[in-house]
Amino acid sequence: MKKILLVAAAALTLAGCQTERQDRAMGGALIGGGAGALIGGLATGTAGGALAGAAIGGVGGAIIGDATTPNRCRYVDRYGRTRWYRC
């Protein structure tokens, strides 16, 4: 149990070191996986259906989250103001 908590804490710490594109893909995967598991479980009434729905929804959500990331990069100028420009 302690190993699982340690791995989870390390994963959450490293999750903050991502780009906007990775954040959107991960968020899409989580939302899609949850929705897919719910729909798959309700449609089939089995755990296997929920797992298949979660896998399909997670992949689809990650792809959509990545594809909808805006093409903008950010930098901070010498006055501390955040500026956006097209990448």
Identify residue 4 by its one-letter amino acid code. I
Domain boundaries, given as residue ranges, for the chain = 21-86
What SS3 state is found at 83? strand
Local mean pLDDT, 10-residue blocks, the chain (87 residues) = 67 64 87 94 92 94 88 83 81
Please give the structure tokens belonging to residue 69: 């990331």
pLDDT at 62: 93
pLDDT for residue 66: 87
> Cα separation of 57 and 5, whole Å?
26
Closest CA to 66 of 22, 33, 35, 32: 22
Q: What is the predicted pLDDT for the residue at 2?
A: 67
Q: Is the entire prediction scored with pTM above 0.75?
A: no
